[in-house]
Amino acid sequence: MDEKKLLAKVKKGDLESFNILVEKYQKHVYNIAYRFMGSREDASDAAQEAFLKAYRSISKFRNDASFKTWLYHITANVCRDELRKRKNTSVISLDVPIMGDDGQEIDRQLKSGNPSPEEQFEVKENQSFVQEVINSLPEDYRIILILRELQGLSYEEITEALNCSMGTVKSRLSRARKLFKDKIINIREQNDISKRQVR
Protein backbone atom coordinates (compact mmCIF):
# COMPACT_ATOMS: atom_id res chain seq x y z
CA MET A 1 0.00 0.00 0.00
CA ASP A 2 1.10 3.56 -0.70
CA GLU A 3 2.85 5.10 2.33
CA LYS A 4 0.63 8.21 2.33
CA LYS A 5 -2.46 6.00 2.48
CA LEU A 6 -0.94 4.03 5.34
CA LEU A 7 -0.17 7.24 7.22
CA ALA A 8 -3.71 8.51 6.69
CA LYS A 9 -5.02 5.27 8.23
CA VAL A 10 -2.56 5.54 11.14
CA LYS A 11 -3.79 9.06 11.84
CA LYS A 12 -7.29 7.57 12.17
CA GLY A 13 -5.97 5.09 14.75
CA ASP A 14 -5.30 2.06 12.55
CA LEU A 15 -2.58 0.17 14.43
CA GLU A 16 -2.19 -2.48 11.72
CA SER A 17 -1.12 0.19 9.20
CA PHE A 18 1.41 1.47 11.70
CA ASN A 19 2.77 -2.07 12.13
CA ILE A 20 3.40 -2.19 8.37
CA LEU A 21 5.47 1.01 8.68
CA VAL A 22 7.34 -0.42 11.67
CA GLU A 23 8.26 -3.52 9.66
CA LYS A 24 9.46 -1.34 6.80
CA TYR A 25 11.71 0.90 8.92
CA GLN A 26 12.63 -1.16 11.99
CA LYS A 27 16.10 -2.22 10.74
CA HIS A 28 17.06 1.34 9.82
CA VAL A 29 15.80 2.76 13.11
CA TYR A 30 17.54 0.04 15.10
CA ASN A 31 20.80 0.60 13.20
CA ILE A 32 20.75 4.35 13.94
CA ALA A 33 19.99 3.63 17.60
CA TYR A 34 22.77 1.04 17.76
CA ARG A 35 25.33 3.46 16.34
CA PHE A 36 24.25 6.00 18.92
CA MET A 37 23.93 3.76 21.94
CA GLY A 38 26.65 1.18 21.28
CA SER A 39 24.81 -1.89 22.61
CA ARG A 40 22.08 -4.14 21.26
CA GLU A 41 19.89 -3.89 24.35
CA ASP A 42 20.03 -0.10 24.51
CA ALA A 43 19.47 0.16 20.75
CA SER A 44 16.43 -2.11 20.97
CA ASP A 45 14.96 -0.03 23.82
CA ALA A 46 15.64 3.23 21.96
CA ALA A 47 14.11 1.91 18.73
CA GLN A 48 10.95 0.82 20.57
CA GLU A 49 10.74 4.20 22.27
CA ALA A 50 11.18 5.97 18.92
CA PHE A 51 8.31 4.03 17.34
CA LEU A 52 6.09 4.68 20.38
CA LYS A 53 6.82 8.41 20.17
CA ALA A 54 6.17 8.39 16.43
CA TYR A 55 2.80 6.69 16.94
CA ARG A 56 1.78 9.08 19.70
CA SER A 57 2.89 12.10 17.64
CA ILE A 58 1.56 10.97 14.26
CA SER A 59 -1.02 13.77 14.24
CA LYS A 60 1.90 16.26 14.12
CA PHE A 61 3.41 14.63 11.04
CA ARG A 62 3.05 16.80 7.92
CA ASN A 63 2.42 14.81 4.76
CA ASP A 64 4.63 17.18 2.75
CA ALA A 65 7.68 15.82 4.62
CA SER A 66 9.27 12.37 4.37
CA PHE A 67 8.06 9.94 7.03
CA LYS A 68 11.47 8.23 6.98
CA THR A 69 13.42 11.37 7.89
CA TRP A 70 10.77 12.38 10.46
CA LEU A 71 11.20 8.96 12.08
CA TYR A 72 15.01 9.26 12.00
CA HIS A 73 14.71 12.66 13.69
CA ILE A 74 12.62 11.13 16.48
CA THR A 75 15.11 8.25 16.84
CA ALA A 76 18.05 10.64 17.12
CA ASN A 77 16.23 12.68 19.77
CA VAL A 78 15.33 9.58 21.80
CA CYS A 79 18.98 8.49 21.78
CA ARG A 80 20.23 11.97 22.68
CA ASP A 81 17.80 12.20 25.59
CA GLU A 82 18.88 8.81 26.91
CA LEU A 83 22.58 9.65 26.62
CA ARG A 84 22.03 12.97 28.41
CA LYS A 85 20.34 11.12 31.26
CA ARG A 86 23.32 8.85 31.66
CA LYS A 87 25.88 11.66 31.51
CA ASN A 88 28.70 9.24 30.87
CA THR A 89 30.36 7.64 27.91
CA SER A 90 29.13 4.28 26.75
CA VAL A 91 31.66 1.47 26.96
CA ILE A 92 31.59 -1.18 24.27
CA SER A 93 32.15 -4.78 25.20
CA LEU A 94 34.47 -6.63 22.90
CA ASP A 95 32.05 -9.57 23.22
CA VAL A 96 29.13 -7.68 21.63
CA PRO A 97 28.53 -8.45 17.94
CA ILE A 98 29.01 -5.60 15.47
CA MET A 99 26.03 -4.17 13.59
CA GLY A 100 26.71 -3.95 9.85
CA ASP A 101 25.66 -1.03 7.66
CA ASP A 102 22.78 -3.13 6.32
CA GLY A 103 21.38 -3.66 9.84
CA GLN A 104 22.62 -7.25 10.06
CA GLU A 105 24.65 -8.50 13.00
CA ILE A 106 28.18 -9.65 12.26
CA ASP A 107 29.36 -12.34 14.65
CA ARG A 108 32.75 -11.69 16.16
CA GLN A 109 33.61 -15.36 15.78
CA LEU A 110 33.39 -15.98 12.08
CA LYS A 111 32.21 -19.39 11.03
CA SER A 112 34.73 -21.65 9.33
CA GLY A 113 36.11 -19.97 6.28
CA ASN A 114 39.16 -18.37 4.76
CA PRO A 115 40.31 -15.75 7.32
CA SER A 116 42.95 -16.86 9.77
CA PRO A 117 42.41 -16.30 13.51
CA GLU A 118 44.81 -13.35 13.32
CA GLU A 119 42.83 -11.78 10.46
CA GLN A 120 39.57 -12.34 12.32
CA PHE A 121 41.00 -10.67 15.40
CA GLU A 122 42.18 -7.70 13.34
CA VAL A 123 38.74 -7.26 11.76
CA LYS A 124 37.07 -7.39 15.18
CA GLU A 125 39.53 -4.93 16.64
CA ASN A 126 39.00 -2.50 13.76
CA GLN A 127 35.21 -2.69 14.04
CA SER A 128 35.33 -2.12 17.80
CA PHE A 129 37.81 0.70 17.34
CA VAL A 130 35.63 2.50 14.78
CA GLN A 131 32.53 2.09 16.96
CA GLU A 132 34.36 3.49 19.98
CA VAL A 133 35.54 6.50 17.98
CA ILE A 134 31.98 7.11 16.75
CA ASN A 135 30.72 6.88 20.34
CA SER A 136 33.32 9.41 21.50
CA LEU A 137 32.12 12.12 19.10
CA PRO A 138 29.82 14.91 20.29
CA GLU A 139 26.15 14.10 19.63
CA ASP A 140 25.67 16.52 16.73
CA TYR A 141 28.67 15.09 14.89
CA ARG A 142 27.82 11.50 15.72
CA ILE A 143 24.29 11.66 14.33
CA ILE A 144 25.33 13.42 11.15
CA LEU A 145 28.04 10.83 10.44
CA ILE A 146 25.59 8.01 11.13
CA LEU A 147 22.92 9.44 8.84
CA ARG A 148 25.30 10.29 5.98
CA GLU A 149 28.06 7.70 6.06
CA LEU A 150 26.26 4.69 7.57
CA GLN A 151 22.63 5.19 6.54
CA GLY A 152 23.43 6.88 3.20
CA LEU A 153 20.90 9.69 3.54
CA SER A 154 21.14 12.60 1.11
CA TYR A 155 21.95 16.11 2.34
CA GLU A 156 18.29 17.04 1.80
CA GLU A 157 17.07 14.10 3.90
CA ILE A 158 19.50 15.00 6.67
CA THR A 159 18.34 18.64 6.74
CA GLU A 160 14.80 17.34 7.10
CA ALA A 161 15.68 14.73 9.73
CA LEU A 162 17.69 17.16 11.87
CA ASN A 163 15.56 20.21 11.14
CA CYS A 164 18.51 22.41 10.18
CA SER A 165 19.80 24.22 7.10
CA MET A 166 21.84 22.71 4.28
CA GLY A 167 24.80 24.91 5.27
CA THR A 168 24.65 23.59 8.83
CA VAL A 169 24.56 19.98 7.59
CA LYS A 170 27.55 20.48 5.30
CA SER A 171 29.67 22.32 7.87
CA ARG A 172 28.83 19.82 10.66
CA LEU A 173 29.57 16.89 8.38
CA SER A 174 32.90 18.41 7.40
CA ARG A 175 33.83 19.01 11.04
CA ALA A 176 32.60 15.55 12.05
CA ARG A 177 34.73 13.86 9.39
CA LYS A 178 37.78 15.87 10.43
CA LEU A 179 37.25 15.16 14.13
CA PHE A 180 36.72 11.45 13.39
CA LYS A 181 39.94 11.34 11.34
CA ASP A 182 41.90 13.33 13.96
CA LYS A 183 40.74 11.01 16.76
CA ILE A 184 41.80 7.93 14.80
CA ILE A 185 45.21 9.43 14.05
CA ASN A 186 45.66 10.52 17.67
CA ILE A 187 44.73 7.10 19.09
CA ARG A 188 47.01 5.31 16.63
CA GLU A 189 49.89 7.65 17.50
CA GLN A 190 49.32 7.05 21.22
CA ASN A 191 49.34 3.30 20.60
CA ASP A 192 52.63 3.58 18.68
CA ILE A 193 54.19 5.55 21.56
CA SER A 194 52.97 2.95 24.09
CA LYS A 195 54.43 0.11 22.03
CA ARG A 196 57.81 1.87 21.79
CA GLN A 197 57.83 2.48 25.56
CA VAL A 198 57.14 -1.19 26.25
CA ARG A 199 60.17 -2.17 24.17
SS3 106: strand
Q: What is the pLDDT of residues 59-105, one digit of tens each?
A: 888 877 789 989 998 998 998 888 888 765 445 555 556 666 666 66
Q: How far is CA 87 from CA 109, 133, 139, in A?
A: 32, 17, 12
Report the C-alpha gap between 75 and 33 in whole angstroms.
7
Task: Provide the CATH topology of domain 3-198.
Answer: Rna Polymerase Sigma Factor; Chain: A (1.10.1740)
Q: Could you give the CA distance from residue 108 to residue 52 in angstroms, rounded to a whole number?
A: 32
Parallel/antiparallel/unpaired status of strands 105-106 and 98-99: antiparallel
Over the range 41-77, which residues count as b (16 or more CB within 10 Å of their CB) and which as e? Answer: ebbeebbbbbbeebeeebeebeeeeebbbbbbbbbbb
pLDDT of residue 92: 53
pLDDT at residue 87, rounded to an integer = 63
Q: Are 10 and 18 in contact (CB under 8 A)?
A: yes
- Which helix or strand (DSSP H or E) is residue 105 part of? strand 105-106
Per-residue pLDDT tens listing for the chain (199 residues): 688 898 889 999 889 999 999 999 999 999 999 888 888 899 999 999 999 999 999 988 887 778 998 999 899 899 888 888 876 544 555 555 666 666 666 665 544 455 666 666 666 666 677 778 888 888 888 888 888 888 888 899 888 888 889 999 999 999 999 998 888 888 877 776 666 665 5
At residue 89, the pLDDT reads 46
The set of residues, in sequence order, having a beta carbon less than 8 Å from that of 145 and lying 6+ positions away, is 134, 137, 173, 176, 177, 180
All structural domains of the chain with their residue ranges: 3-198
Alpha-carbon distance values, 54 to 20, 32, 76 (Å): 14, 15, 12
Q: How much is the pTM? A: 0.59
CA distances to 141, 150, 164, 184, 194 from 177, in Å: 8, 13, 18, 11, 26
